[in-house]
Amino acid sequence: MQLITSASFWTPDYIVDSAWLEHAPFAFWLMEAHRPRVVVELGTHGGFSYCCFCQAIQRLGLSARAYAIDTWKGDEHAGFYGEDVFQGLSAYHDRYSSFSQLVRSKFDEALPHFEDGSVDLLHIDGRHFYEDIKRDFEIWRPKLSSRGVVLFHDTNVRERGFGVFQLWPEIKDDYLNFEFFHGHGLGILGARGGLSDELLQLFASSNDDGSSRAIREAYAKLGQGVTTLFSNKMLAATVEAERQSFGAALNAAAEKEHAQAVAEKEAHIWPPMTPTRIWRPLYLALRALLKWRGRP
């Protein structure tokens, strides 16, 4: 039984900007420890957390189905965004289409399409006002299987009206639970039956200060690695953009220099026909002619 395995060290294949970056190592571990058969995510946005789940399903060879539910329009907390977000995710997500679907709808509209007692892993990450989270949990709770696990992101955010930190203490003691504090906080609830030994060990450690602190520290450190990966990716993109614009500027300067050199050369061969250059030779020729005609 291990709370950190090689899966905890996997690198996310799909890294996009997200407040969820630091939970990728735990997500990989969780997928391996829990082996869910049906995964539902409420709130997917750019798809970072969801693609971690899909990556794990594929890599572990799980016979699971996964559903990402979102309007892909945004909300007051995530911000409102354009169609490009869905298009970008959809293009990447095609590789998972044998077991996963992007469901473009409101959370409550998608609800009737799922059977009660069918969802093994539910990730709640929609709009974060207290009433939203409470409602999302309440309407989706009947869908959880007898071995259901629920993830709540942002249990440790105390600004902009986020209310997960208020709901979490109200519900956590009715279930097995564990909470990470890093990466804006991640609350994990587990049903009281049917869970793997690894998950039971995780939940048991929440009653032990020493081991819960060690698990939190380990996953916070692993999570920092993912943030660093993302920062490096951003930095590399900035450097590449700078390199391209510098290259373009160099090319433009070289073209201008070349054009000037050509113009100077042409000016030398064909000097500009200024009035003096045109009339003076004519005048001289005429004078010579008259002189010649007027000779005795």
Ligand X SMILES: C[S@@+](CC[C@H](N)C(=O)[O-])C[C@H]1O[C@@H](n2cnc3c(N)ncnc32)[C@H](O)[C@@H]1O
The residues that touch ligand X, with contacts defined as CB under 6 A, are 18, 20, 43-46, 48-49, 70-75, 78, 106-107, 125-127
Minimum CB separation from ligand X for residue 115, in Å? 20
Distances (CA, A) of 187 to 76, 167, 172, 239: 22, 11, 8, 37
Q: Which is nearer to ligand X, 106 or 277 (CB)?
A: 106
Q: Which is nearer to ligand X, 68 or 199 (CB)?
A: 68
Give the type of residue at 106.
K
CB 159 within 8 A of CB 152: no
**What's the order of all strands across the beta sheet hosting 65-70?**
100-104, 65-70, 38-42, 119-124, 144-153, 186-190, 176-180
Minimum CB separation from ligand X for residue 224, in Å? 17
Strands 65-70 and 74-75: what pairing?
unpaired
Chain mean position to CA 165? 24
Q: Which is nearer to ligand X, 106 or 258 (CB)?
A: 106
Q: Which is nearer to ligand X, 34 or 153 (CB)?
A: 153
Distances (CA, A) of 28 to 5, 89, 227: 9, 20, 16
Close Cβ partners of 214 (under 8 Å, ≥ 6 residues apart): none
Q: Which is nearer to ligand X, 48 or 178 (CB)?
A: 48
Minimum CB separation from ligand X for residue 183, in Å? 11
Q: Which is nearer to ligand X, 59 or 73 (CB)?
A: 73
Distance (Å, rounded) from C-alpha 45 to C-alpha 162? Answer: 17
Minimum CB separation from ligand X for residue 256, in Å? 46
Minimum CB separation from ligand X for residue 150, in Å? 14
Q: Any alpha helices (H) in the chain, and if so which ranges? A: 24-34, 48-60, 83-93, 107-110, 130-140, 164-171, 197-205, 209-269, 275-293
Minimum CB separation from ligand X for residue 101, in Å? 14
Minimum CB separation from ligand X for residue 45, in Å? 4
Q: Which is nearer to ligand X, 126 or 223 (CB)?
A: 126
Minimum CB separation from ligand X for residue 92, in Å? 13
Q: Is 73 exposed, middle or buried (0-12, 13-18, 19+ CB in 10 A)?
A: middle
Residue 49 tokens read as 């957390």
Q: Which is nearer to ligand X, 127 or 182 (CB)?
A: 127
What region, left, alpha or beta, does residue 102 occupy, with left being phi > 0 and alpha being psi -120 to 50 degrees? beta
